[in-house]
Amino acid sequence: MSAIHGLRFGSDPTVGSDGRDVDIDLGATVDLSVPIVFGKPDSRAFSLPAATSAAVEAGSFVGDVRRGGSCNCETHHLTPHADGTHTEGPGHLTAARSPVRMSEPMCVALLVRVTPRPLGDVADDVSGNHRHDDLVVDDVSVRDAIDAAVQASTVAPWLPAPRALIIATGSGAARRQARFSGQNPPYLTVDAAIAIRERGFMHLLVDLPSIDREDDGGLLAAHRAFFEVPIGLGADTATDTDTDTDTDTDTQPLPRTVTELIAVDDDVAVGLYALFLQVAPIEADAAPSRPVIAPLRLSPRPIAAGAPS
Ligand SMILES: [Zn+2]
């Protein structure tokens, strides 16, 4: 095994009473992304158009080496919300076209596994369209999964609270192949979304096409709960007259992100990881992204007091 233990993390003396280093194991990274593949007959979700790609043709130039071109050069047509792993920010919901940004290049993430339950079996709040046999990630399940994963972690005492929550609900192999359109896939209840936000998670990643129901009547209730974007927020930041200080647009939504259509292979253990979430630099409400996680392990090296890091 050729693990790389090259980085130190968590040596902040405020973290942990007697201080322990935590290593990021860069030799055991896991890529959670599901790639965009061009030329498929359909997209992955919402019955949206499939991603397409066409060689540029200009005069005598053709951007396809197979056709005699000097290089490959293609124009891509894609819909990030349906074609593969993508990340979105509050701008997904607002008239203000604020592009998605990942505010931190690396953060601590907690990976949990939750088996969705029938909505009729849980006590959570739901809005918009729903049926009692919808499968949902509910408040109690997500809280229990978070608590169990943290308690089982050997590195948790030495780290700041995780900033990202990764929820796996199904087989990674199946998720990579899945076509969710018309399947009414599982989704998060509003209560679950609120619980995740209130626990301080800024970034939420799921192996589902959306944290909301495929058709919830247009409310996007779980998105709104997590991003703290009520209907109408940001419709016009200059003329907004909302007097609710919680939601007034003089306080912009925090730079939370939601990443959807990931896949978590079955052998990836629950627990704490370093998350490197790279979002394509496209000025849009959502962009294709690549979440990569690396295990965190207690370092065998003790911290030397006062040693330069
Ligand atoms: Zn989306």
H or E, element range at 7: strand 7-9
- Between CA 134 and CA 230, with CA 87 as vertex, the angle to 5 degrees is 65
* 27-60 burial: b if 16+ Cβ within 10 Å, else e: eebbebbbebeeeeeebbbbebebbeeebeeeee
Which pLDDT value is given to residue 21? 80
Helices (DSSP H) in the chain: which residue ranges? 80-83, 139-152, 172-177, 190-198, 221-227
Residue 127 Cα to ligand 1 midpoint, Å, equals 19
Residue 251 Cα to ligand 1 midpoint, Å, equals 24
Residue 35 to residue 38: CA distance in whole angstroms: 10
Bridge partners of 295, per DSSP, are 273
pLDDT by residue, tens only, the chain of 309 residues: 444 444 455 444 444 445 678 889 989 999 999 999 999 999 999 999 999 999 999 999 999 999 999 999 999 999 999 999 999 999 999 998 899 999 888 999 999 999 999 999 999 977 788 999 999 999 999 999 999 999 999 999 888 899 999 999 999 999 999 999 999 999 999 999 999 999 999 999 999 999 999 999 999 999 999 999 988 775 554 344 444 444 444 568 999 999 999 999 999 999 999 999 999 999 999 999 999 999 999 887 655 555 454
Residue 158 Cα to ligand 1 midpoint, Å, equals 33
Residue 56 Cα to ligand 1 midpoint, Å, equals 28
Q: 7-35+85-298 adopts what CATH topology?
A: Glucose Oxidase; domain 1 (3.50.30)
Residue 118 Cα to ligand 1 midpoint, Å, equals 23
Burial class (CB in 10 A: 0-12, 13-18, 19+), 239: exposed
Residue 266 to residue 262: CA distance in whole angstroms: 13
- CB neighbour list of residue 162: distance below 8 Å, 6 or more residues apart: 107, 108, 109, 110, 201, 272
What pTM was computed for the model? 0.88
Residue 132 Cα to ligand 1 midpoint, Å, equals 24
Domain residue ranges of the chain, discontinuous segments joined by +: 7-35+85-298, 36-83
Q: Hey, what are 250's tokens?
A: 């003089």
Residue 128 Cα to ligand 1 midpoint, Å, equals 18
- 287: amino acid identity, one letter: A
The Cβ-side half-sphere exposure at 27, using a 13 Å CA radius, reads 8
Residue 74 Cα to ligand 1 midpoint, Å, equals 25
Block residue for tokens 């703290």? 228
Residue 209 Cα to ligand 1 midpoint, Å, equals 7
CB atoms within 10 A of CB 198: 9
